[in-house]
Copies of this chain bind each other. A is one copy, B any other.
Amino acid sequence: MRIANRTGHITGGGSDGWEIYYRTRDLIAAGERVLTLTIGEHDIRTDRRILDAMHASAAAGNTGYAFGPGNRALREAIAARTQARTGVPTSWRNVVVTPGGQSALFSSHMVLLDAGDVGLHCDPFYATYPGTVRATGATARRVPTTSDAAFLPQEAQILARAEGARTLLINTPNNPTGVVYDRATLEGIARAAQAADLWVISDEVYDTQIWQGEHLSIRALPGMAERTVVVGSMSKSHAMTGSRLGWIVAPQEVAQAVETLATNTTYGVPAFIQDAALFALGLGEGFEAEVAAPFRRRREIALRVLQGSNAIRTIPSMGAMYVMLDIRATGLSGNAFANRLLDEERIAVMPGESFGDTAAGHLRVALTIADDRFEEAMTRLAAFAERQLP
């Protein structure tokens, strides 16, 4: 029995850096102590007040089918928050709630790409990006960036790859690089999108984790609201990864298309989780800063430890729960470095190669373990790197 060609095309291509992830899991299962800096997930759990709000909603009887595009109150709260932070007039009609940010990414591509179309994404990229484009039946095409330019997407590079493309997926603050796109970069992307008539799908799920500069949404640039779909989520901002609550903010016709798709793909998001999200948003920016604070501290630890290193150059660390390290001076690939670091130091980091070709010779370090252990890990990683210098 043959399954769909689609299926075989979703994954594949690129280096399988996830080897590190699985090796780490096996070592830990075997009782080894491994300092694990691989996964982008908080070392805290979802705040108990949010869980209590969820339970109160469920116990009050909000356990039946929820309205497809999301509860009005939550859509209004997301719209108001978006408008307050970007200045772009945003109505609840621009918002559709989805079961997680990944679902928002997928839904955006599904309603904008037909089979055989081309969807662009930047390289390096978050692990699921090419698969998300391919799952729609479209072709995923990479827009390369360079380490020397802080992996910022350039107008000329987008235009050079835009023939036949209909969408461009960008991500700021960026996973895996920790870079925050500046205004000039966003203006270049906007010019390219307008020249090539591209939709921009802007993944902004790390928008509350800014260590340097400010977060700008491309949707706020002139003429861009009409061709931009913003992807948001409670996962990173509120430590609610497991609750699977995300959203899109888009022109109304796109939002309506996502709503129609949702009816036929997921049929709504649990109402009690929506109520928990509404409660969590009500905790305000102070709470979001609390959730972000550990990453801010650890990013400073990393910069302090790596200052003056001859072996490691830090990609400008401006936001998100990662720092990216250029270890090309050691002569090792990211894969070789990461595997040897795991073998010899029992420290797990992601090789840059697992995020695309352009991040070869780099490492992504997640800021996701306690400060003291994080400092130990960075200190030993730095010393290990020095020892590899030719």
A59 to B50, CA, bound (A): 10
Interface string of A1-22 (1 = CB under 8 A from B): 1111111001100000000000
A55: CB under 8 A from chain B? Answer: yes
Q: Which residues of B contact A273 (CB under 8 A)?
A: 270
Q: Looking at the assembled complex, report how far the CB atom of A359 sits from the nearest CB atom of chain B, in whole angstroms.
A: 20
Surface stretch bound by B, among A102-110, A183-191, A309-317 = A102-110
Q: Which residues of B contact A61 (CB under 8 A)?
A: 45
A180: CB under 8 A from chain B? Answer: no
Given contacts A7-B260, A116-B115, are A46 and B65 in contact (CB under 8 A)?
Answer: no
Task: Scan residues 101-132 of chain A and give those whose CB is less than 8 A from a CB of chain B.
Answer: 102-103, 106, 110-117, 128, 131-132
A48: CB under 8 A from chain B? Answer: yes
A1 to B225, CA, bound (A): 12
A243: CB under 8 A from chain B? Answer: yes
Contact check: which of B10, B54, B114 meets A137 at CB < 8 Å? B114
- A100 nearest CB neighbor, chain B only: B267
A254: CB under 8 A from chain B? Answer: yes
- A43 nearest CB neighbor, chain B only: B64
Q: Are B266 and A244 in contact (CB under 8 A)?
A: yes
- A7 nearest CB neighbor, chain B only: B257
Q: Which residues of B contact A110 (CB under 8 A)?
A: 4, 6, 135
A268: CB under 8 A from chain B? Answer: yes
A269: CB under 8 A from chain B? Answer: yes
Contact check: which of B4, B242, B267, B268 meets A62 at CB < 8 Å? B242
For this complex, into which size category does the number of interface residues on chain A fall? 35 or more
Given contacts A10-B260, A11-B260, are A4 and B112 in contact (CB under 8 A)?
Answer: yes
Q: Are B268 and A6 in contact (CB under 8 A)?
A: no
Residue among A4, A41, A64, A99 facing the most chain B CB atoms (10 A cut-off)? A4
- A60 nearest CB neighbor, chain B only: B45
Q: Are B242 and A63 in contact (CB under 8 A)?
A: yes
A263: CB under 8 A from chain B? Answer: yes
Contact check: which of B48, B115, B135, B257 meets A261 at CB < 8 Å? B135
Q: Are B137 and A261 in contact (CB under 8 A)?
A: no
- A47 nearest CB neighbor, chain B only: B63
Q: Which residues of B contact A243 (CB under 8 A)?
A: 63, 270
Q: Which residues of B contact A254 (CB under 8 A)?
A: 3
Q: Are A266 and B266 in contact (CB under 8 A)?
A: yes
A322: CB under 8 A from chain B? Answer: no
Q: Which residues of B contact A64 (CB under 8 A)?
A: 41-42, 45, 241-242
Residue among A7, A61, A253 facing the most chain B CB atoms (10 A cut-off)? A7
Q: Which residues of B contact A226 (CB under 8 A)?
A: 1
Q: Looking at the assembled complex, report how far the CB atom of A199 sits from the nearest CB atom of chain B, in whole angstroms.
A: 7
Q: Looking at the assembled complex, report how far the CB atom of A70 sits from the nearest CB atom of chain B, in whole angstroms.
A: 13
Q: Looking at the assembled complex, report how far the CB atom of A300 sits from the nearest CB atom of chain B, in whole angstroms.
A: 25
Q: Looking at the assembled complex, report how far the CB atom of A17 sits from the nearest CB atom of chain B, in whole angstroms.
A: 15
Task: Scan residues 51-71 of chain A and give those whose CB is less than 8 A from a CB of chain B.
Answer: 51, 54-55, 58-59, 61-66
Q: Which residues of B contact A115 (CB under 8 A)?
A: 6, 114-116, 137
Q: Are B260 and A244 in contact (CB under 8 A)?
A: no
Contact check: which of B114, B241, B263 meets A6 at CB < 8 Å? B114
- A239 nearest CB neighbor, chain B only: B63
Sample of 16 A–B contacts (CB below 8 Å): A1-B226, A1-B251, A3-B112, A4-B110, A4-B257, A6-B110, A10-B264, A46-B63, A51-B59, A62-B242, A64-B241, A100-B268, A135-B261, A242-B272, A244-B268, A270-B270
> Beyond the given A4-B110, A55-B58, A102-B267, could you list 8 further A-B residue pairs with CB under 8 A, ordered by the A residue number?
A4-B257, A46-B58, A63-B242, A99-B244, A102-B265, A242-B272, A265-B265, A270-B273
